Amino acid sequence: MTLRGHVIQAAITAAAAATVLDPWQTLVLASSVVLIDVDHYLDFVVVTGRFGLSEMFRFHDFVWERRGEVYGLSVFHTVEVFSLLAAAGWLWSEWAWVVLAGFLMHMAADAVFLYRNDALGTRAVSIVEYVVRRGGAGYPRYEDAEE
């Protein structure tokens, strides 16, 4: 899903949540719907060794075009991170539950988008799953895009 799509999703989520959450919780919820995607920037940095934000969007367009060849890992989109947030919510702070709710809203939209684009199995939902299943199907070499 696009950044624009997630921003719209965050606005709709915030409007609905504002009826039951306080303003700060609503802001954190809406922000987490979008900021979970920071891990896409981390993917870009790890895979390419580059840091340019606009280049990161080009990289992910490049990866999307090759989605049938790619088995990716977006760390913040994993069961392990969701479990840590749930544990933090249970043991420490209600704010972790708010962030988890935003992450879950984001993942629901991602799942629909990936399903509609026949790409549901292209991203691991678990770090363990990624390590076990990856084989040689990680990210394509971005340098190939420049040839």
Q: What is the dihedral of CA 44, 50, 56, 59, to 10 degrees?
A: -70
What does pLDDT average to in each consecutive run of 10 residues of the chain (147 residues)? 94 97 98 97 92 92 87 92 98 97 97 94 89 70 60
Quick check: 9 and 36 in contact, CB under 8 A? no
Q: Is the pTM value of this prediction over 0.75? A: yes
What's the pLDDT at 143? 67
Q: Note the pLDDT of residue 99.
A: 98
Instruction: Return the number of other C-beta atoms located less than 10 Å from residue 107's C-beta.
Output: 18
Range of the domain at 111: 3-146
* Per-residue pLDDT, 104: 98
Number of domains present in the structure of the chain:
1
